[in-house]
Structure 1
Amino acid sequence: MKYNKVRWGIIGCGDVTEVKSGPAFQKIENSELIAVMRRTGELAKDYAKRHNVLKWYDNAEALINDPDIDAVYIATPPESHKEYTIKAAKAGKPVYVEKPMALNFAECQEMISACEAAGVPLYVSYYRRALPRFLKIKELLENKAIGDVRFVSTTQYQQALVDEGGSKNTSWRVQPDLAGGGLFFDLASHTIDMLDFLLGPIKAVQGFASNQVGNYRAEDIVTGTYLFENGVHGIGSWCFSAFEDVDTNEIIGSKGKISFSTFGNDPIVVTTTDGSEGFSFELPQHVHQPLIETIVADLTGDRDQCPSSGLTGARTSWVMDEMVKSFY
């Protein structure tokens, strides 16, 4: 089904929707945010008032079944992604779901099957696939700026997260039953999905995960290797209890390398025997907006499908599952 205007409802209007995503639905042509939901009704009401949203709910099914809503954005923790996606699909409504797509790859497959059976599209909020910064890296690779790609290396680490007062962290992001794993699932998912976008699908994975500090039950360090379908090799290390914050990716080719961060906005640097060249980009105010624009364009029939689908999102979940399966 194609829409003249996509009327959105948000399930879970928490922090991520305040600036990163929520306002974008109102600013995109042929798009409108008309309802939000949060389990605590007063918080949903407050969000609706502050963002000029017509309706608010404290019940997800009521929002999903609202006849004025065409498509649903699920911005809850991963624990409820599968449930709400399947309910929205059965209501005949396209779904845009937060990352990681679900608690695990098996749940992703159920979500994909439900949306396929209902004939509705499923999108995942790996928004870097639509940001100019990462589109530039893809262009550089396609234009052989570093020759043929040989391998990619990722090193990401940060200081341990603790609650105020130094107590053990209790954020949902480090509770496996709510998040699928620890901060690896929350943060590394962006990098792994971005590498899928830049280099293609990963076909084989080996990984190790541990909890070295004991601040929470989930893993706090993951290291691994992977092989892409096109023969490129990859190595990655993610540690969430180190002494400083580091975020570095390098794609090494036969004639040079591309260096960049996943979360920072420092310049992309291309290095060859001829020297180095940097490329800088301003992040949009609402980082989800470029990706949501592709979704709206898809749903209104103006262009090809969004680059972040249920199929691509599930591939990232499979890689993460493989890297931590010995720990769980």
Structure 2
Amino acid sequence: MRKIQEDVVKWGVLGVGNVCEKKSAPAMKLIPHSLLVAVMRRNEEKVKDYADRHQVPKWYTEAVDLVNDPEINAVYIATPPHMHLPLTKLAAAAGKPVYVEKPMGRTYAECKEMIAHCEKAGVPLYVAYYRRALPHFVRIKELLDEGTIGEIRTVHVNLKQVLTPDVVVHLENNWRIDPQIAGGGYFFDLASHQLDLLDFFFGPIVQANGFSGNQAKAYQAEDVVVGSFVFESGVMGSGNWCFTTAKGAEIDEVIIYGSKGSIRFETFGKGEFILESDSQETKHFHVELPYHIQQPLIQTVVGDLLGTHVCPSTGNTAARTNWVMDQLVR
């Protein structure tokens, strides 16, 4: 079913910061039946510079002006999380479909409100959990669904990062560790990708419990989280996240254990994973990641709006990730 009347998705982008330099917005001009029409940022000098460098025809310094541009028929919200709810409400009220950055909101309650506004306006809501469309993760899901490692028993997430000097030095400019803006710390920024990916593989998490703390006292947000969770399918899992670990102890690893083998991968690494199974030798899979990392997911958004594809990352799926994070840090 088509979700816009036109044959081309004409994007307007709210908040052209770092994520729009390479990861997302430039891909909107490369996808068939997709155009990048206008960008918005409050700083006039910076938004003009972005529009000039990326050959974008229009620019604005006020969100309401971009959203009400009659040429634009879809809005990408690329701001920090504290603006996701008000800007989603603004775009929905104008009848424009919404593609919003992750995490979807600062809390599960905000996510539910975003969904309600879009449902009331009759517009679709998508979220930029782009790992759902990356080729190596799609391949992992296929292997899991095919039963390559048998019945899934458990999954373990282990993410450790060093507290780098620039985090403290540039504290006032680092919104990712300001709970008022981001909802939490790096856990909300990074673990959200991992938890959403597990939702993609196994379906919704229906129980989650955890502990969080601020051990290093370098900033206000939590810097360590541990927890466990149970999926609707019966799969059980655990996670251990620490963002102030010792140098040399960094790790990014997810391991899925089945009755006949295992799959392990890095969430934030290369397009690789390792398959070990009872019936064959260890296999290493590698695929090249797209230059614009969000392009495969944005392509599904465009297809969904035009009625040719289904986007795997919606407001409903993304809100579940916020619910899990709320449970783990509360």
Smaller-chain TM-score range?
over 0.9
Residue deviations 1:206-247, cap 9 Å, x none? 000000001100000000000000100000001000124210
- State the one-letter code of the partner of 2:294: H
Instruction: State yes or no: 1:313 paired with 2:315.
Output: no
Give the match for residue 291 of structure 1.
Answer: 297
Instruction: State yes or no: 1:5 paired with 2:8.
Output: yes
Contact 2:76/2:98 (<8 A) preserved: yes
Give the match for residue 153 of structure 1.
Answer: 156
What is the root-mean-square deviation in Å for CA atoms of aligned residues? 1.1
Matched ranges for 1:1-328 at <5 A: 1-2=3-4, 3-163=6-166, 167=169, 169-170=171-172, 171-243=174-246, 244=248, 245-265=250-270, 267-273=272-278, 274-303=280-309, 305-325=310-330
Contact 1:128/1:194 (<8 A) preserved: yes
Deviation at 1:300, TM superposition (A): 1.2
Q: For residue 153 of structure 2, give the secondary structure of its aligned residue in structure 1.
A: strand
Q: Aligned equivalents of 1:266 and 1:13: distance in 2?
A: 26
Deviation at 1:280, TM superposition (A): 0.4
Worse-superposed segment, 15-24 or 271-280: 271-280
Deviation at 1:199, TM superposition (A): 0.9
Q: Aligned equivalents of 1:63 and 1:272: distance in 2?
A: 52
Deviation at 1:266, TM superposition (A): 5.5
Q: Aligned equivalents of 1:193 and 1:322: distance in 2?
A: 14
- State the one-letter code of the partner of 2:171: N
Point out where structure 1 has 5 or more consecutive residues left out of the alignment: none
Contact 1:169/1:215 (<8 A) preserved: no
Contact 1:13/1:75 (<8 A) preserved: yes
Deviation at 1:163, TM superposition (A): 2.5
- TM-score, normalised to structure 1, is 0.97
Contact 2:271/2:289 (<8 A) preserved: no
- Number of residue pairs aligned between Structure 1 and Structure 2: 323
Contact 2:131/2:137 (<8 A) preserved: yes
Contact 1:168/1:215 (<8 A) preserved: no
Deviation at 1:275, TM superposition (A): 2.3
Residue deviations 1:83-124, cap 9 Å, x none? 000110000000000000011000000000000000000000
Contact 2:136/2:271 (<8 A) preserved: no
Q: Percent identity?
A: 53
Q: Aligned equivalents of 1:28 and 1:149: distance in 2?
A: 36
- State the one-letter code of the partner of 1:292: I
- TM-score, normalised to structure 2, is 0.96
- State the one-letter code of the partner of 2:140: I
Q: Aligned equivalents of 2:297 and 2:141: distance in 1?
A: 16
Deviation at 1:263, TM superposition (A): 0.4
Point out where structure 2 has 5 or more consecutive residues left out of the alignment: none
